[in-house]
A = this chain, B = another copy of it.
Amino acid sequence: MPEFSVAHLAHAVGGEVVGDGSRAIDGVAALESAGPREMSLVANRRYIAYVPATRAAAVLIATEFVDEIPGTLTQIRVANPHAALRGILLLLYPPVHPEPGVHPTAIVAENVQVGTGVRIDAYSVIGSGAVLDDGVFIGAHTVVGEGCEIGMNTVLHPHVTLYPRVQIGAECVIHSGARLGRDGFGYALVDGEHQKMPQVGGCRIADKVEIGANTTIDRGSIGDTVVGRGTKIDNLVHLGHNVRVGERAIIIAQVGVAGSSIVGDGAVLAGQVGVSGHLTIGAGARVAAQAGVIGDVSPGETVSGYPARPHREALRSQAAAFRLPSLLKRVRAVEKALLRRTKEAPDPGK
């Protein structure tokens, strides 16, 4: 494992050292578990309480918290601790780049184009007409269908399936068990039977997209299913046929987006969100966990609940729901009061 001084790490991430910059660091750990050669971080106010007892050699601290940190622990102060942490992790845990080469058990069709620096691991199967650009990594057991195209430095982990003619951009990461380009869920009702509608569209993934384990993205029925540049998709997500996701969107685990819906640039769909078909989620919109979206969402809006509606409104309505049982009692009391008065004091107007 590599080892660096606190001062070296601070310099690498543009931070300021306060304390002993000469201490040696060979790892990063949480405050409560870090050892004397590890550094830790305080990116969130709630972790300040763990600082006094930590054995860490140094701590990465957001500038905004420096006045609240007790004791004399060596610090690296930075404005953006997450970005700095990323830089430090990349130094201490340098990514392993497997050697290029084609494993003898890989089955690569004759007319596949393979760029330089490509690695194709054991038992993978690359279909005819596929194009693997420079630096592509194909994990063990991954199946790349006929005519697929994979961009530079993209990594397919083991056990991925690409159905035929899927296009993936550069610098993507596709995790184990992802299934891209499956024939979508479309049927025509003919003579009382569901007859499969041929799914002749494509599945296009732009550059710098990450797709989680066991996630499924169906191909288009007519026209393509599309995921935009820089979008990150977590595990067990489902995107139906002809869904179009914009750039830099975040789609968290177990989200499902039904056919032909559009997810705008920078939108965030939290875990287990469901989006019905043929809807538009505007750019920068945020959908809270488990929300069920059955209508369009405006750009920048935050929605929650089922059916999803503006978050403030949903919160007010939830708060009111809590008070429903007592409200019922109050209405009953009001009714009784009115009734009593009517009986005891006959309407003076009569």
Contacts and interface: CB of A to CB of B under 8 A. Distances in A.
Contacts of A190: 80, 83, 86
B274 A222 contact: no
A330 B230 CA distance: 49
A325 to B, nearest CB: 5
A45 interface: no
A188 interface: yes
Contacts of A161: 157-159, 176-177, 213
A53 interface: no
Nearest to A334: B334
Contacts of A140: 125, 143
Interface in A284-335: 289-290, 292, 294, 305-307, 309, 313, 316-318, 320-325, 327-328, 330-331, 334-335
Interface of A: 28-30, 33, 80, 82-83, 85-86, 89-90, 92-93, 95, 105, 107, 121-123, 125, 139-141, 143, 157-159, 161, 163, 173, 175-177, 179, 182-183, 185, 187-190, 192-198, 200, 208, 210, 212-214, 216, 218, 222-223, 230, 232, 234-236, 238, 240, 248, 250, 252-254, 256, 258, 271-272, 274, 276, 289-290, 292, 294, 305-307, 309, 313, 316-318, 320-325, 327-328, 330-331, 334-335, 337-338, 341, 344-345, 347-349
